[in-house]
Amino acid sequence: MDGGNQSIVSEFVLLGLAHSWNMQILLFLISFMLYLVTVSGNILIMILVITDSHLHSPMYFLLANLSFVDMLLSSNTTPKMITDFLKENKTISFGGCMSQIFFSHLIAGLEMVLLVVMAYDRYVAICKPLHYSTIMRLQRCIGLVVTAWTTGFVHAMSQIVVIVRLPFCGPREVDSFFCDRPLVIKLACMDSYKLKILMNIDCGVVAITCFILLLISYTYILVTVLQSSKTGASKALSTCTAHATVVVLFFGPCIFIYVWPLNITWLDKFLAVFYSVITPLLNPAIYTLRNKEMKNAIKRFRSYYMDSKISA
């Protein structure tokens, strides 16, 4: 690796999710529909937060950022997967493969920190309600989001600067629908055992640190809720349930893919699909269906659209 990029391989072959043509057509239709719904749902949330004055608060500002990140997460690998279902030869260039790895880790690190920021927002709202507007002012919210982006970028760079310099000179088949970092490292013409451990530790530091911070936030929230009135406790728990659900859905697959891999091919593929296709779809659904303000915003948006249409 001292000699720079020694790669001879110019492209990789993605083995995909299925070999049967009928199954690939079915998966194409399902994936295409899910991707459209995912992008539409996340765009709707962003539009509502931007246009509806009732949603101009730190909580929904962070939610709009989460929707944008989820749209990036889905768009990093899903469009390639969808088009590959219609191709016999599923190849990806070396640069395209490295780009997928880079953005996968950028988005993963970014979303983990963003979920911590959202938990901190709920902690301040529930545990320090009188100081909420002072603590969660716009400048601080923007600073926290910038911190999330910076953390994601640094984490992604720490991964890609090593992977891009690995000697790829022979095997080029990736047994997945995208360039998954552990599978690509396995193709390097060298003993990659220690490198895999170091990469997992790198991912583990980010994931476990964020997870511990989330646990601390929710512990304080639960203690405060238990000490409050039943009405207040019910409202607080309702506010946090959607966020906690998203945390579990995101961290579960992410940990088993990049921190503690199970090395079971079919399960790894399932977790990868769940992480990159299903999770970005569930996030907008969870926040819109479980959030009263979001549902009211959708009604106001629909009424405004219908009134505009009638007057036109």
Structure confidence by residue, pLDDT tens digits, 271-297: 888 888 888 888 778 877 777 888 888
Q: Residue 312: pLDDT band by 50, 70, 90 thresholds? A: low
Q: pLDDT of 181-224, one tens digit each?
A: 888 998 998 888 888 888 888 888 888 899 899 889 888 888 88
Cα distance between residue 119 and residue 123, in whole Å: 6
Answer whether residue 106 is part of any domain: yes
Single out the residue of 78, 203, 79 nearest to residue 152, CA to CA: 203
Quick one: pLDDT band at residue 259, thresholds 50, 70, 90? low
- Report the CATH number at residue 207: 1.20.1070.10
Which residue would you say has higher pLDDT here, 303 or 121?
121
- What is the per-residue pLDDT for 3? 44
Cβ(9)–Cβ(168) under 8 Å? Answer: yes
Look at residue 306 and tell me if it is in a domain. no
pLDDT at 7: 55
The pLDDT value recorded for residue 5 is 47
Average pLDDT over residues 87-100: 92
Q: What SS3 state is found at 91?
A: strand
Domain that holds residue 83: 13-301
Q: How many domains does the chain fold into? A: 1
Neighbours of 227 (CB within 10 A): 9
Q: Is residue 74 part of a domain?
A: yes
Q: Are 294 and 242 in contact (CB under 8 A)?
A: no
Task: List, for residues 131-177, the tens digit of each pLDDT value.
Answer: 999 999 999 999 999 999 999 999 999 999 999 999 988 788 999 99
**Residue 42, burial from CB neighbour count under 10 angstroms (0-12, 13-18, 19+):** buried
Strands 173-174 and 11-14: parallel
Asked whether residue 230 is assigned to any structural domain, the reply reads yes
- Structural domain includes residue 6: no
More confident residue, 226 or 279: 279
Structural domain contains residue 309: no
For residue range 47-80, list pLDDT tens digits in order: 999 998 889 999 999 999 999 999 999 999 999 9
Structure tokens at 209: 């640190």
Q: Which helix (H) or strand (E) holds 14?
A: strand 11-14
